[in-house]
Amino acid sequence: MKQFVVIGLGRFGSSVARTLYKLGYDVLGIDINEEIVQSLADSITHAVQADATDENTLKALGVRNFDVGIVSIGDDIQSSILVTLILKEMGIKYVIAKAQNDLHGKVLYKIGADRVVFPERDMGVRVAHNLVASNILDYIELSPDFSIVELEAFPEWYDKTLGELKMRKNYGLNVMAIKRGEDVIVSPGADDFIKKGDILVVVGQNKDIEKLEKLV
Ligand code: ATP
């Protein structure tokens, strides 16, 4: 089973750490602040007070044996960069780092982060799309051109098949899944029907998704 080390247990880091632990994974949390460490002691596998910029401390904690490292130090950009670099140099396969801004993100990628997240920016995008189009339930930007969107089916789509609706041709959308109550139809085909209350998970170009938002 995968083991996770979360460095920096602020709002973002502690939320990632608690969730992974609830999902049944082993989670080591490290933070420089003793109070924060105490407050998480019962919510994750191990919570340790340490300065993660100290390579020897990380070695002593056996951090190199973890499969995934999550660096969620935000304000102190220098420490975030240093810790990401140390984790990659130790050989951790997958390191995710949280960035404050684009430049910080670029540096994190350059020094070897496998994935960089911008929680505030990404959440802002998702909330904004949900506000302008109430049938857009979730919005994940894949790149500046493409996104994945979770949307409620439009009434004019009910009881029609994906083939009849020509989703790709008419809307530029690829339907990846249809959620119907508890059921999920993965990779639906041209013969699959859309029913009232269905939620579609689609991938498409942002310009096509924007057109969809204007239909609401
Ligand atoms: P969030 O938005 O997730 O609350 P933030 O972006 O405001 O966080 P910070 O508060 O700067 O980020 O950092 C998150 C956590 O990282 C804090 O709890 C802080 O104590 C911890 N931290 C900062 N530097 C280090 C370090 N060198 N080693 C370990 N933990 C650190």
List, for residues 28-87, the tens digit of each pLDDT value. Answer: 999 999 999 999 999 999 999 999 999 999 999 999 999 999 999 988 999 999 999 999
* Residues 6+ away with beta carbon under 8 Å from 76: none
Ligand 1 centroid from CA 125, angstroms? 24
**The pLDDT of residue 136 is above 80:** yes
Residue nearest ligand 1's atom 6 by CA = 74
* Residues 6+ away with beta carbon under 8 Å from 204: 146, 147, 149, 171, 172, 173, 174
Q: Which of 28, 33, 73, 78 maximizes ligand 1 atoms within 8 Å of its Cβ, making it the mutation to test the pocket?
A: 73
Ligand 1 centroid from CA 103, angstroms? 19
| Residue in 54, 59, 61 with CA at minimum distance from that of residue 83 | 54
**95, two tokens:** 């390191």
Question: CA–CA separation, 112 vs 67, rounded Å?
Answer: 15
Ligand 1 centroid from CA 35, angstroms? 12
Ligand 1 centroid from CA 126, angstroms? 24
* 124 sits in which H/E element: helix 119-132
Ligand 1 centroid from CA 188, angstroms? 43
- Summarised one tens digit per residue, pLDDT across range 115-135 is 999 999 988 988 888 887 888
- Summarised one tens digit per residue, pLDDT across range 192-208 is 999 999 999 999 999 99
Cα dihedral sign, 160-162-165-171: positive
**147, two tokens:** 């996104």
Other residues' Cβ atoms within 10 Å of the Cβ of residue 182? 5
Question: CA–CA separation, 183 vs 7, rounded Å?
Answer: 37
Q: What domains can you pick out in the chain, each with its CATH number?
A: 3-117 (3.40.50.720), 122-214 (3.30.70.1450)
User: What is the pLDDT averaged over residues 81-95?
Assistant: 97
Residue nearest ligand 1's atom 5 by CA = 74
CB within 6 Å of ligand 1 — which residues? 7-13, 30-33, 36, 51-53, 72-76, 79
Task: With beta carbons less than 8 A apart as the criterion, state whether 44 and 29 touch.
Answer: yes
Task: With beta carbons less than 8 A apart as the criterion, state whether 43 and 12 touch.
Answer: no
| Atom of ligand 1 minimally distant from the CA of 51 | 28
Ligand 1 centroid from CA 6, angstroms? 11
3-state helix, strand, coil in the chain (%, to 5): 40, 30, 30
Interhelix angle 102-110/77-90, nearest 10 degrees: 20
* 208 sits in which H/E element: helix 206-215
Q: Which of 9, 31, 71, 79 maximizes ligand 1 atoms within 8 Å of its Cβ, making it the mutation to test the pocket?
A: 31
Helix (H, G, I), strand (E, B) or coil at 153: coil
pLDDT of residue 1: 84
pLDDT of residue 143: 86
